[in-house]
């Protein structure tokens, strides 16, 4: 085995430049810890003349990222272009087919093509590593796949998108509305010009699909993730949640039901209410956090920066060090042929308490209509708050339900949809009574 690992990096944006910096700045430490020198020898990006804040002089430049596959002096390919198709897919599959290990930060690619790419990696006996794809600097993939390998994991959940967490935290602490805080997040570089991947829950869903596969040894299935974003969360909801003793967080939750309960898998991304004493409630701003529950270890909580050049490079380079040291685990924890495909549990079967806010015309009989619809669908109310009369004489009725099946609540709200007193469609969120201990 050569003393030097020759690395080719495709993509020199935020993460690519951060990776080059880390490999350069910590070179001796990396060598001490993995026994070999990590050396970036070739790069690829679109614009050769761009100043990237890192020195690329002396590195071979490939206009086409595929050039890294054919470059005989590149041992390991790092894909930091992004996107679930096109050059990223082409590069990663080409490198694996050519027998070159791959490190990527690309959650969209792994969520969409993880099983196929893992199959290619296995066939060619090379690593496909993606620690940086989920929760940035938090080493959650390695924790689940290796640190907690002795456990049956029953549940893994967390704050997987820093942009949404920043927006919700800032809305709560400043009272500003979603659009206003989103603009600020864009100005600060926390949100893209097109923020839909983040605020509509897509990014968190990609990460959750990856976590699910690693935690439960199941085939990755992005289509099985129920996904809702945070666009419809208002400061009103945040304040009402607070009055009832809750915080609103965008969570990704994956759960494996017991064999007696059918062994199905639940995968959901949505804004929900959690108790303020839960460890996730105090994770604010752009931070991410993940909770894993195992049968012997119990609950373990991981928190850290979910994005940015430094944290993401930290994860990428730790993957590179494993490759340099010759350590490589099965991509999703077990060989691809042993990945299971248990049934996916639709969100309609979710059982829990709910927060419902109805903006209604303030006139006699309206509350009786609401109560009747809830009664007819066997949804019982735990608390009701009716306040906030405004100049249009509309009023918000906020209800916390007792535990109920989601399909019942959906039917109750449907019964109300044609009621002329309803000023806008109902707002509904799940309450996650996840244990804070």
Catalytically active residues are 207
| Contact with ligand NAP (CB under 6 A) among 105, 210, 331, 358 | 105
* Least CB distance to ligand NAP at residue 314 (A): 11
Q: Is 16 in the site for ligand NAP (CB under 6 A)?
A: yes
Half-sphere exposure of 415 (CA within 13 A, CB side): 18
Q: Is 111 in the site for ligand NAP (CB under 6 A)?
A: no
Q: Is 158 in the site for ligand NAP (CB under 6 A)?
A: no
Q: Is 87 in the site for ligand NAP (CB under 6 A)?
A: yes
Q: Is 15 in the site for ligand NAP (CB under 6 A)?
A: yes
With CB under 6 A as the contact rule, which of the stretches 13-21, 53-61, 212-220, 228-236 interacts with ligand NAP? 13-21
Residue 7's closest CA among 63, 59, 45? 59
* Least CB distance to ligand NAP at residue 7 (A): 16
Q: How many residues bind ligand NAP (CB under 6 A)?
A: 25
Where does residue 179 rank: exposed (0-12), middle (13-18), buried (19+ CB within 10 A)?
exposed
Q: Is 132 in the site for ligand NAP (CB under 6 A)?
A: yes
Q: Is 65 in the site for ligand NAP (CB under 6 A)?
A: yes
Nearest to ligand NAP of 44, 404 (CB atom) = 44
How far is CA 172 from each of CA 24, 182, 385, rounded to the nearest angstrom? Answer: 41, 13, 20
Nearest to ligand NAP of 19, 213 (CB atom) = 19
| Contact with ligand NAP (CB under 6 A) among 11, 119, 330, 333 | 11
Cα 17 vs. chain centroid, distance in angstroms?
23
Q: Torsion over CA of 324, 211, 93 and 201, rounded to 10 degrees?
A: -130
Nearest to ligand NAP of 98, 361 (CB atom) = 98
Residue 217's closest CA among 268, 261, 151? 151
| Contact with ligand NAP (CB under 6 A) among 8, 136, 330, 342 | 136
- Cross-strand bridge partners of residue 394: 361
Nearest to ligand NAP of 43, 273 (CB atom) = 43
Nearest to ligand NAP of 170, 312 (CB atom) = 312
| Contact with ligand NAP (CB under 6 A) among 82, 279, 346, 388 | 82
Residues 45-64 as x/- pattern, contact with ligand NAP by CB under 6 A: xxx--x--------------
Q: Is 308 in the site for ligand NAP (CB under 6 A)?
A: yes
Nearest to ligand NAP of 106, 129 (CB atom) = 106
Please tell me the distance from the alpha carbon of residue 133 to that of residue 152, in angstroms, as a whole number. Answer: 23
Strands 265-274 and 226-227: parallel
* Least CB distance to ligand NAP at residue 107 (A): 6
Q: Please, which residues have CB within 8 angstroms of residue 243's CB and are 6 or more apart in sequence?
A: 385
Q: Is 285 in the site for ligand NAP (CB under 6 A)?
A: no
Q: Is 222 in the site for ligand NAP (CB under 6 A)?
A: no
Residue 224's closest CA among 196, 195, 264, 263? 264
* Least CB distance to ligand NAP at residue 324 (A): 21
**CB 62 within 8 Å of CB 42:** yes
User: Phi and psi at residue 213, in whole multiples of 5°?
Assistant: -65, -45
Q: Is 13 in the site for ligand NAP (CB under 6 A)?
A: yes
Q: Torsion over CA of 220, 226, 231 and 236, rounded to 10 degrees?
A: -130
* Least CB distance to ligand NAP at residue 14 (A): 4
Q: Is 327 in the site for ligand NAP (CB under 6 A)?
A: no
Please tell me the distance from the alpha carbon of residue 352 to that of residue 414, in angstroms, as a whole number. Answer: 19
- The DSSP result for 309-364, as a single string, is HHHHHHHHHHHHHHHHTT----TTSS-GGG-B-PPBPPGGG-EEEEEEEEEEE--T
Nearest to ligand NAP of 78, 356 (CB atom) = 78
- Count Cβ atoms below 10 Å from residue 165 Cβ, excluding itself: 26
* Least CB distance to ligand NAP at residue 110 (A): 9
* Least CB distance to ligand NAP at residue 260 (A): 38
Output DSSP code: residue 143: I
Residue keyed to tokens 């927060």: 355
Please tell me the distance from the alpha carbon of residue 251 to that of residue 272, in angstroms, as a whole number. Answer: 7
| Contact with ligand NAP (CB under 6 A) among 22, 43, 68, 81 | 81
Nearest to ligand NAP of 217, 311 (CB atom) = 311
Q: Is 161 in the site for ligand NAP (CB under 6 A)?
A: no
Q: Is 163 in the site for ligand NAP (CB under 6 A)?
A: no
Residues at the site binding ligand NAP, with contacts judged by CB under 6 A: 10-16, 44-47, 50, 65, 80-82, 87, 105-107, 132, 136, 307-308, 312
């Amino acid at each position: 085995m050569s003393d030097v690992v020759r690395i080719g990096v495709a993509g020199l944006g935020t993460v690519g430049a951060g990776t080059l910096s880390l490999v350069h700045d910590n070179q001796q430490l990396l060598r001490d810890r993995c026994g070999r020198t990590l050396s970036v020898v070739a790069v690829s990006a679109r614009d050769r003349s761009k100043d990237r804040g890192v020195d690329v002089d002396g590195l071979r430049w490939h206009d086409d990222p595929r050039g890294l596959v054919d470059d005989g002096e590149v041992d390991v390919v790092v894909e930091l272009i992004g996107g679930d198709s096109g050059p990223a897919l082409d590069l990663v599959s080409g490198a694996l087919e050519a027998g070159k290990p791959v490190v990527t930060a690309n959650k969209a690619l792994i969520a969409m093509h993880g099983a196929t790419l893992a199959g290619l990696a296995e066939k060619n006996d090379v690593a496909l590593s993606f620690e940086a794809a989920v929760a940035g600097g938090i080493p959650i993939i390695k924790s689940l796949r290796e640190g907690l390998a002795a456990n049956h994991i029953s549940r893994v959940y967390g704050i997987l998108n820093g942009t949404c967490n920043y927006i919700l935290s800032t809305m709560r602490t400043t009272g500003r509305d979603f659009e206003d805080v989103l603009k600020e997040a864009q100005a600060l570089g926390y949100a893209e010009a097109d923020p839909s991947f983040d605020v509509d829950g897509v990014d968190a869903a990609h990460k959750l699909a990856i976590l699910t596969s690693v935690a439960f040894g199941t085939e990755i299935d992005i289509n099985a993730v129920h996904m809702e974003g945070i666009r419809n969360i208002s400061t009103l909801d945040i304040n009402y949640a607070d009055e009832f003793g809750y915080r609103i967080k965008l969570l990704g939750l994956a759960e494996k039901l017991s064999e007696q309960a059918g062994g199905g898998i639940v995968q959901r991304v949505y804004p929900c209410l959690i108790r303020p004493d839960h460890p996730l409630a105090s994770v604010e701003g752009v931070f991410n956090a993940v909770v894993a529950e195992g049968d012997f270890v119990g609950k373990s909580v991981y928190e850290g920066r979910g994005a940015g050049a430094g944290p993401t490079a930290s994860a990428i380079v730790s993957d590179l060090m494993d490759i340099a040291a010759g350590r490589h685990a099965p991509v999703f924890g077990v060989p691809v042929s042993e990945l299971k495909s248990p049934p996916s549990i639709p969100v309609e079967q979710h059982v829990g308490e709910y927060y419902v806010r109805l903006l209604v015309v303030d006139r006699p009989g309206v509350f009786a209509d609401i109560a009747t619809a809830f009664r007819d669908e066997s949804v019982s109310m735990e608390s009701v708050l009716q306040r906030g009369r405004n100049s249009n004489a509309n009023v918000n009725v906020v209800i916390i339900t007792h535990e109920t099946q989601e399909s019942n609540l959906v039917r109750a709200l449907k019964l109300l949809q044609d009621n002329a007193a309803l000023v806008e469609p109902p707002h509904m969120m799940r309450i996650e009574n996840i244990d804070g201990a």
